[in-house]
Structure 1
Amino acid sequence: MSGLAVVSAGLGQPSSTRLLADRLAAATTAALGRDLPVEHVELRDHAHAIVDAALTGFPSGPFRAAVEAVTGADGLIAVTPVFNATYSGLFKTFFDVLEPGALEGRPVLLGATGGTARHSLAIDHAMRPLFAYLRAAPVPTAVYAAPEDWGAGAAQSDLADRIARAGAELAALIEARPAAAKSDPYEDPVPFAELLAGGG
């Protein structure tokens, strides 16, 4: 899969986490100025499968398709609610079950939501180290949204500005990223007759 993968770890429906994820995706596609397939992965819908994958060591069923959408995307938006000053357990477990190196070099836009602006530091002290360990490439601007950011007035305008800036940064990294190499080494096999001719 190529395109944009959007991982949202909100627990409620509707959730401010998914709302922020949607707005970040819209800002990114607008900055690209072209159509880009967008695959939304709501971790809430895969909660049991995520735990199963953590226990068995591999994803299965619809959850496998979600993992492939994330690991095969040109860019990733990852948004989590903040609980107890860090990302949610569901968010962390999802990234724990990915294969090592699956996100290496992948452009990532980080976002988070929480009940107070004081939790905004979770992006820098928890999320950035996680994605550095995964060898992904987070954009400089991350976006945190507290309850007051969704209201009218200056806070809302500031949130819109941060979303637009972060989306533009992710779009720039996606455009600059070289095309992925073929993942299947057997996609273009050497014809058997050619092998015989060279083996004489």
Structure 2
Amino acid sequence: MSERTIIAISAGLGQPSSTRLLADRLTDATLEGLTARGATATVETTELRGIAHEIVNAMVTGFPAGSLREVLEKVSAADGLVLVTPLFTTTYSGLFKSFIDILDKDSLTGRPVLLGATGGTSRHSLALEYSMRPLLTYLRADVVTTSVFAATDDWSGEADTVNPLPARIRRAGTELAEKVAAREPAGAADDYEGVPTFEEMFRGR
């Protein structure tokens, strides 16, 4: 059985980042779910803060370059995606939306996606359902039923009897694993093949 690839995208701005922590927990749960189904997978995680300037440049020029180009290629070839963003003013961050905006319009079609978000208070947890889920549904991604929101207080307790977050993470990871395991492994399609890099465009000028 071919090994699957899970790509996690964290739009956290801090370091250390609770958004990255949630992404890691979700990918761990997904790997456990795949192992239980006799499948193997590798995980690669990208923190968007490290390529923020490249994202802005791509929005202005229309051409992804450098590390960003590699990330976009990996997203387009992934068997499953974990997308996690902090919430600001009750919706996803501008950095997260900018990254989504530069994806090829067909790169997420039918692709299994797990959504996560972090915020200061659980009052904003429904933002996953009224802003993030419609966005990914519009892009025709196969979004799992369970999304995961983690407020600041949710990290204070790990036991299920104290805090429901660990159980919700396991359930979401299991749902993503089920979708990934049920599909044929994704090919290494490159939606940006033939698109010149900045270096190629301006070489010799």
Q: If the TM-score is normalised by the length of the shorter chain, which range does it land in?
A: 0.7 to 0.9
More off after superposition, 162-171 vs 152-161: 152-161
Please give the alpha-carbon distance, in whole angstroms, between the structure 1 residues aligned to 2:162 and 2:124.
18
1:26 alignment counterpart = 28
Higher relative contact order (CA 8 A, sep 6+): 2
1:130 alignment counterpart = 135
Unaligned runs of 5+ in 2: 191-205
Residue identity matched to 2:73: E
Superimposed CA distance per residue, residues 2-52 of structure 1 (whole angstroms, 9 cap, x where no aligned partner) = 500000000000010000000000000011104311111110001000000
SS of equivalent residue, structure 2 residue 59: helix
The match for 2:114 among 109, 116, 141 is 109
Asked if the contact 2:78/2:186 (under 8 Å) is kept, the reply is no
Please give the alpha-carbon distance, in whole angstroms, between the structure 2 residues aligned to 1:155 and 1:101.
42
Please give the alpha-carbon distance, in whole angstroms, between the structure 1 residues aligned to 2:12 and 2:101.
18
1:167 alignment counterpart = 173
Unaligned runs of 5+ in 1: 185-200
Matched, 1:43 2:48: yes
Q: What do you get for the CA RMSD once the two structures are aligned?
A: 1.8
- CA deviation after TM superposition for structure 1 residue 157, in Å: 3.6
2:13 alignment counterpart = 11
Aligned residues: 184
Residue identity matched to 1:160: P
Please give the alpha-carbon distance, in whole angstroms, between the structure 2 residues aligned to 1:108 and 1:102.
12
Query: CA, structure 1 residues 56+10, in 2 after alignment: closer, same or farther (shift >3 Å)?
Result: same
1:144 alignment counterpart = 149
SS of equivalent residue, structure 1 residue 3: strand
Residue identity matched to 2:132: M
2:197 alignment counterpart = none
Query: CA, structure 1 residues 60+120, in 2 after alignment: closer, same or farther (shift >3 Å)?
Result: same
Output the TM-score relative to the length of structure 2: 0.85
Query: CA, structure 1 residues 35+94, in 2 after alignment: closer, same or farther (shift >3 Å)?
Result: same
2:202 alignment counterpart = none
2:199 alignment counterpart = none
Matched, 1:176 2:178: no
Asked if the contact 2:160/2:167 (under 8 Å) is kept, the reply is no
Please give the alpha-carbon distance, in whole angstroms, between the structure 1 residues aligned to 2:51 and 2:183.
30
Please give the alpha-carbon distance, in whole angstroms, between the structure 2 residues aligned to 1:156 and 1:5.
30
